[in-house]
Chains A and B, each alone.
Chain A
Amino acid sequence: MRRIHTFTLLLSILVACREDVEIRPPEVIPVAPSDSAAIIGFYLLNEGNMGSNKSTLDYMDLFSGEYRRNIYADANPSVPKEMGDVGNDIRIYGEKLYAVINCSNKVEVMDRRTAKRIGQIDIPNCRYIRFHGGYAYVTSYAGPVELNPDYKQRGYVAMVDTTTLQVMARCLVGYQPDELEIVGNRIYVANSGGYMFPNYESTVSVIDIASFTEIKRIEVARNLHRLRADRHGRIWVSSRGDYYGQPSRLYCIDLDNGEHVDSLQVAVSNLYLDGDSLYLYSTEWSYISMSNEITYGIVDVARKQIVSRCFITDGTEQRIQIPYGIMVHPITKDIYVTDAKNYVSPGTLYCFDRNGRLKWNVRTGDIPAHFALLEE
């Protein structure tokens, strides 16, 4: 009798098919609408831990006040292996949405309203993207290899035609270039040298767009990362420091004043420039407390001064383990901060009002990181 039961059990397992994985519609979570006519929503790109292929796209509809989690697979059900591995930047230009997917070696190009795939731009180890005059400019770590005498690989900026999605030209810059910004007819690129430890890079490359060549380097500090241009002819650059003796710092390059470099005594992991307010936070590992030390602040770029040491005022910052993404709504001045937690489980998006009080929070994908505002 027992043998018969065992047999039927085995048979049923034999005949049964393995469960298929379903692409399900995005989860829609009502949070709160926001009254700003010009901006209808924003995208949030989740990086996903390296190798997990879990970079996902979320969308916040500010009209309806609904948060749509993981919209890419549903909008593009025929794309194998979904969006990819480690989303590193997201921007909207014209009618298109561009997501830089670092470890998938591509820029995913989508319709800005539906997130439907239009195509992709293959750029190995791509990092950040900016636009100018119908072209996209993308930084990449993966330039030509120099073997003499050591293995070295410079980075480059790729110039991409946004209509054909073809790479038109490459301009070599320093080692491991990160953020870039376009001011006038020049591109400024923050070189990190992140693969060169302990010999980090310390310069900003300046590219002349017309000739698409690097015309000079501006010496700033080691291991540069973020780079933003303000409306006073200045470039704000952050240095990651060397993680040991030299801490992270914020630098300001005055373009109109002979590219004079100033520094501010503030550590920066990420920043967002809204008008003259540079919102920033820093997460730095302390070998003394053996924990991450997190600070927040606002710099007034006109006066080059730190004007606030906290923009979250209701104590919610205690709940944020690893702040990772930051954005400020240009009209309502709501502040959005993401928490990447332990990098392998879902993160959280927090929305604060202009006075730093929590309005709402919502679960995101893994490592919520990069924002793109969607205008009407």
Chain B
Amino acid sequence: MFTCRFFCAGMAMLLPAIVQGQSRLDSVQRLGEVSVVANRYGEVIPSQKLSGKRLETLSSFSVADAVRYFSGVQIKDYGGVGGLKTVDIRSMGTNHLGVFYDGIQLGNAQNGQIDLGKFSLDNIEEIALHNGQRSEVLQSAKDFGSAGTIYLRTRRPRFGTGRRTNFTTTVRGGSFDLINPSALWEEKLGEGICSSLNAEYVFSSGKYPFRYRRILPDGTTAWDTTAVRQNGDIRSLRLEGGLFGLSDEAKWMLKSYFYDSERGIPGAIVNNVWKRSQRQWDRSFFVQGSFMRRFGRLYTLQVNAKYADDRMRYLNPDTTLMYVDNSFLQRELYFSSANRYSIRPFWDVGLSLDYQWNMLDANLREFTYPRRHTALAALATSVERWNLKAQASLLGTFVFEQAAGSQDKREYTPAVFLSWRPFAGREANIRSFYKRIFRMPTFNDLYYTDVGNIMLRPEFVNQYNAGFEYSAEGDRDVGLHVRADAYYNEVTDKIVAVPKGNGQYRWMMMNLGYVEIRGIDVSGRMTVRFGKRTGRSGVASLQLSYTFQRAQDFSNPADNDPEAGTFGGQIAYIPRHNGSAVAHVSWRSCDINYSFIYVGERYHNSSNIRENYEPSWYTHDLSVGKLIRFGEIKIRLSAEVNNILNQYYDVVLNYPMPGRNYKIILKIEI
């Protein structure tokens, strides 16, 4: 097994690797903020990114809505503004995705899932998706610790010449009784120091009509029923404050985040039950700091620290079901130091050391109160020579758990990234990576009363990827950007729930799953600039992405009935085909954006029979915007129509999604 793995890794390296298309461009774009400490190398394999105007015009409400436009991404959406939205990269499962907020990972030791529906796009400036890992040297050990990573970067204040204050206020409103005001105040406190305060409130009744229908074989309607989604209401308040510093040698940031919400959990729509009454309250607080400094020409240090406190209460007051009123408290403490040293101008080495402490309390009976210490050490090196660029890293993870009967864990996981630039001066690269990584069993997996299994081992993935990228963008009149990757992933020791004893209310978590995923991600973007000569210039762009995935469940060789067996079947909710298209035109002060999402047919289960079949769905969204200036004041008014065809669909079985819906956005910048 060991030799085989390294043989495969070797094969991956032999694949012609190489250049870095985008990173030069990135360093130019980011010049204003990070010029002093900008990484000379950038990433070996550039990420997929959404930022700036493209992000702003995408008719997306939350981060989860925007992430759908990346290739290789599957989203599980339970519907509505408040519905749970989780993301799965390349079918490896949502627990393998790391989500970083301003450079530091968002944690959920309890169930390992980050609800991206909770993260507003209001102050997000850039979303970047990395397969494998961000292939840089100067980063925390946790940056090496996931199979795929999404980086959310919030707005860092920028001031026009002579300005010391920015003030922006936005109001969004529309369908589902949505009212969503927000305000941002940025102040320049001194040379290289500024502050930012951001507040946002969301209210929505979550009510929307949904429709289910069935037809008879002759095409006539068998039944057709329309109802209003109930108990999907949400109210939430988000407050964020930041201090930012920048000097010739250093860059730092201090950030605090507070989120408080109450929501209804709309639940599954089943026969005779059209309304649910479960509630959930969340209160999250974190404070985090980041400091980066260059010492001399060769050595750079980055220090990150974070403290987080998350409270959640779940109430089931439904008298037809078991009464549940559970409260959970999670705390996390995190400290990281990352070091980079340049041995030669073309050769960097890095060492990162992280420490993290997690705890979970709950008012459950017979609950184990788990405490977890995690130490991570990452050793990384990168080389850029001739037209080759490579990174290799080794991550050691050491987990010490304070719970009766728990086992300490020690894992070493490698990653290798290669890229080759075949044409000097052209933004084209051929690249490849191999990565082995794991996810720890969550506190729920290990300790949840009755369901948890203290014997669980980590769930591993091996990823192999090869692809290319070509870019001819920049200031040209016609820009083109194409990227394509083919990959093979294996998920071993996958943690799955298995029936325990008799009666379907009892389950046990076991390391029994094995999944193989073969996939292709393709995306392309064409940008046309026009009207330069007349002075009435505009930009038109078209972005397409497509994902093919064959994700097969090989967990149970005994369940191999050719028609209905789960062995070899496509895993639950992963379509073979999905894709998106975004067309955007901006001309003078107007812009118009059309976006389309397609998710192909899926099955609710690895048994790919007609009873488990879920048809494909697709939505068309349209938005138009206009910018009006009154001297210093900028007013942007935009309107969105989403799901124009009023298509009714489920992403998750029995969780109906909204049909056609509207939104109006007014944004004023002073």
A and B, one complex?
yes
Chain A positions near chain B (C-beta within 8 angstroms): 3, 6, 10, 13-14, 18-25, 47, 49-54, 56, 70, 73, 77-86, 101, 103-106, 120, 122, 124-125, 141-142, 145, 151, 153, 194-195, 197-198, 240, 243, 269-270, 282-285, 290, 292, 319, 321-322, 324, 340-346, 363, 365-367
Taken together as a complex, chains A and B put the C-alpha atoms of A47 and B499 apart, in Å, by: 14
Residue interface bits B499-541, CB-to-A below 8 A is 1, else 0: 1111111101010000000000000000000000000000000
Contact, CB under 8 Å: B617 / A20? no
| A106 pairs with B272, CB closer than 8 A | yes
Smallest CB-CB separation from A176: which chain B residue?
A: B322
B504 touches A343 (CB 8 A): yes
Q: Which residues of A contact B453 (CB under 8 A)?
A: 290
From A77, A103, A120, give the contact of B270 (CB < 8 A): A103
Nearest chain A CB to B457 CB, angstrom units: 12
B237 within 8 A of A: no
A contact residues around B561 at 8 Å (CB): 363
Contact between B499 and A292, CB atoms less than 8 A apart: yes
Q: Give 7 new A-B contacts, CB below 8 A, not counting A52-B654, A84-B272.
A: A10-B596, A18-B649, A19-B616, A53-B654, A153-B319, A269-B502, A342-B556
Kindly state whether residue B542 has any CB partner on chain A within 8 Å. yes
- Measured CB to CB, the closest approach of chain A to B555, in angstroms, equals 9
Q: What residues on B are CB-neighbors of A319 within 8 Å?
A: 558
Contact with A along B608-647 (1 / 0, CB 8 A): 0111110111101000000000000000000000000101
Is the CB–CB distance between A124 and B214 below 8 Å?
Answer: no
Whole-angstrom CA separation of A121 from B149 in the bound complex: 51
B216, B613, B620: the one within 8 Å of A77 (CB) = B216
List the one stretch of B81-89, B136-144, B599-607 in contact with chain A. Answer: B599-607
Instruction: Give the distance to chain A from B611, nearest Cβ to Cβ, in Å.
Output: 7
Given the known interface contacts A25-B217, A285-B501, A346-B564, the answer about A142 and B273 at a Cβ–Cβ threshold of 8 Å is no
Contacting residue for A13 out of B542, B544, B596, CB 8 A: B596
**Chain A residue with the shortest CB-CB distance to B227:** A80
* Contact of A290 with B223 at beta-carbon distance under 8 Å, contacts A81-B271, A342-B566 already known: no
Question: Which chain A positions have C-beta within 8 A of B666?
Answer: none
Closest to A49 in B: B504
Chain A residues, CB < 8 A from B37:
none
Q: Which A residues lie within 8 Å of B450 (CB)?
A: 243
Q: Are B323 and A22 in contact (CB under 8 A)?
A: no
Q: Does B124 contact A (CB under 8 A)?
A: no
For A83, list chain B residues within 8 Å (CB).
Answer: 271
The interface centre, meaning the residue of B213, B503, B618 with most chain A CB atoms within 10 A of its CB, is B503
Per-position binary interface string of chain B over residues 297-332, scored 1 when its CB falls under 8 Å from any chain A CB and 0 otherwise: 000000000000000000000011111010000000
The docked-state distance in angstroms from the alpha carbon of A195 to that of B319 is: 12
| A321: B residues at CB distance < 8 A | 558
Contact B271 A284 (CB under 8 A): no
Question: In the complex the two chains form, is B500's CB within 8 Å of A292's CB?
Answer: yes
Total A-B pairs, Cβ < 8 A: 182
With a cutoff of 8 Å between Cβ atoms, the chain B residues found around residue A340 in the complex are 499, 504
**8 A-B pairs in the complex with CB atoms less than 8 angstroms apart:** A52-B268, A77-B216, A80-B225, A153-B323, A243-B506, A292-B501, A343-B504, A346-B609
Q: Is B1 an interface residue (CB 8 A)?
A: no
Q: Are B508 and A285 in contact (CB under 8 A)?
A: yes
Q: Say how far A308's CB is from chain B's closest CB, in angstroms.
A: 20
Question: Contact: B319 with A142, CB < 8 Å?
Answer: yes
Q: Are the CB atoms of B271 and A82 closer together than 8 Å?
A: yes
| Closest Cβ–Cβ distance, residue A131 to chain B (whole Å) | 22
Chain B residue with minimal CB distance to A323?
B502
Cα separation A334 to B615 with both chains bound (whole Å): 40
- List, in ascending order, chain A residues with CB within 8 A of B366's CB: 198
Residues in B neighbouring A324, C-beta threshold 8 A: 502
Distance in Å: Cβ of B440 to nearest Cβ of chain A: 19
Interchain CA distance A24-B609 in the complex, whole Å: 13
Q: Contact check, B214 vs A283: say whether CB atoms are below 8 A apart.
A: no
- Cβ of B365 < 8 Å from any Cβ of A? yes
**Chain B neighbourhood of A194, CB < 8 A:** 505
Q: Which of A120, A290, A343 is within 8 Å of B510, CB to CB?
A: A290
Interface string of B234-245 (1 = CB under 8 A from A): 000000000000
For B502, the closest partner residue in chain A by CB is A269
Known A-B contacts A10-B581, A53-B268, A104-B273; A345 and B559 likewise in contact (beta carbons under 8 Å): yes
- Per the bound structure, the CA–CA distance linking A321 and B325 in Å amounts to 34
Q: Specify which chain A residues have a CB less than 8 angstroms from the CB of B38 in the assembled complex.
A: none
Task: Tell me if A105 and B273 are in contact (CB < 8 A).
Answer: yes
Closest 9 CB pairs of A and B: A84-B271, A269-B502, A124-B320, A85-B270, A345-B607, A81-B271, A53-B270, A77-B222, A104-B272
Interfacial chain A residues near B212, Cβ < 8 Å = 80-81
**Which chain B residue lies CB-closest to A70?**
B611
User: If A13-B618, A124-B320, A269-B502 touch, does A85 touch B271 (CB 8 Å cutoff)?
Assistant: yes
- Distance in angstroms between the alpha carbons of A284 and B502 in the assembled complex: 7
Q: Using Cβ atoms and an 8 Å threshold, which residues of chain A touch B653?
A: 52-53
In whole angstroms, how far apart are the Cα atoms of A324 and B213 in the complex? 32
Q: Contact check, B320 vs A142: say whether CB atoms are below 8 A apart.
A: yes
CB within 8 Å for A290 and B455 given contacts A49-B504, A319-B558, A345-B559? yes
Q: B215 an interface residue at 8 Å Cβ cutoff?
A: yes
* Nearest opposing residue in chain A for B498, CB measure: A342
Residues on B with beta carbons closer than 8 Å to the beta carbon of A366? 611
Q: Could you tell me if A51 and B271 are in contact, using CB atoms closer than 8 angstroms?
A: no
Contacts A153-B319, A322-B502; A6 near B610 (Cβ below 8 A): no
CA of A283 to CA of B217, assembled, Å? 41
Out of A50, A105, A342, name the residue touching B320 (CB < 8 Å): A105
Point out the residues of chain B lying under 8 angstroms from A365, CB to CB: 611
B598 at the interface (CB under 8 A from A): yes
Contact B273 A283 (CB under 8 A): no
CB-based contact A345/B223 at 8 Å: no
Residue from A18, A142, A270, A345 with most neighbouring chain B CB atoms (10 Å): A345
Given A6-B544, A14-B620, residue A79 in contact with residue B223 (CB < 8 A): yes
A18 touches B616 (CB 8 A): yes
The CA-CA distance from A12 to B259 in the complex, in Å, is: 43
Residue interface bits B356-400, CB-to-A below 8 A is 1, else 0: 000000000110000000000000000000000000000000000
Contacts A22-B214, A83-B271, A105-B273 known; A367 to B504 CB distance under 8 Å?
yes
Q: Is the CB of B217 within 8 A of A363?
A: no
A128: min CB distance to chain B, Å: 13
Q: Is B670 an interface residue (CB 8 A)?
A: no
Complex partner residue of B615 from A19, A85, A284, A341, CB under 8 angstroms: A19
